[in-house]
Amino acid sequence: MSVQERKERERAGRERLIVATARELAEQQGWDAVTTRRLAERIEYSQPVLYSHFRGKREIIGAVALEGAAEMAAALRAATSAAEGPRIRVIALARAYLDFAERNPAVYDAMFQLDGGLAFANEDTPEPLKDAFAALLESLGEVAGDGVHPALFTEVFWAALHGLATLTRAGRLPPEDTERRVELLVDRLAVV
């Protein structure tokens, strides 16, 4: 291994450590607790080293969001891969989405609530975000109905899931009715 390869591997390792530490701190104490000073202390590097990887908190949030999008896409695909039939597949997708949002609140916030400097719904959208949408579209596109654009239907269904996740987390919707909401959403929106 060349010196350059070793340096690149060490740099990538530091970046993974920064992102993992930011994510851990955000999940434990919220995003307000994530500062470059606290991150530098936790990872035992100086702030200039941290800034050599990320220009600030916004870029760190973006990195967490990209990591979360990849994880969410994998979770959605895993949940739907064994489901038999469109209705069961869409219910499995909805459950997996809501479960991901509940188990990873800080990551979910980084993905959809906070400014991570990421472009959505255009040519500059990073690949992990496109893939997370594709994971939704794979199951939802088949239940959009005649004459309904599959991507548009996916956006509407996704917006409903996001609303359920956000309102439940904020205590505006009682969590014990989540399953009934999922079934109602699938039965009323999806053509299965």
Kindly report, residue by residue over 64-123, the tens digit of the pLDDT: 999 999 999 999 999 999 999 999 999 999 999 999 999 999 999 999 999 999 999 899
Q: What is the band of 155 on the pLDDT scale with cuts at 50, 70, 90?
A: very high
| CB atoms near residue 146 (< 10 Å) | 5
Q: Contact at 8 Å (CB) between 60 and 47? A: no
Give me 16's structure tokens.
Answer: 């993974």
Please give the structure tokens belonging to residue 153: 């239907």
Token digits for 35? 């500062």
CB 122 within 8 A of CB 109: no
Residue 1: the pLDDT is 77
If one counts every other C-beta atom within 10 angstroms of the C-beta of residue 105, the result is 15
Q: What is the mean pLDDT of residues 123-128?
A: 95
The confidence band for 3, taking pLDDT boundaries of 50, 70 and 90, is confident
Query: What's the pTM value of the predicted model, to 2 decimals?
Result: 0.94
Q: What was the pLDDT predicted at 129?
A: 97
> How far, CA to CA in Å, does 141 sit from each of 44, 123, 162?
47, 21, 18
Taking the C-alpha atoms of residue 143 and residue 139, their distance in angstroms, rounded to an integer, is 8
What is the residue-wise DSSP string for 36-87?
HHHHHHHHT--HHHHHHH-SSHHHHHHHHHHHHHHHHHHHHHHHHHT--SHH
Residue with tokens 């591997």: 9
Question: To 5 degrees, how large is the angle CA 7–CA 13–CA 17?
Answer: 145
Query: What is the share, in percent, of the chain residues with pLDDT greater than 90?
Result: 94
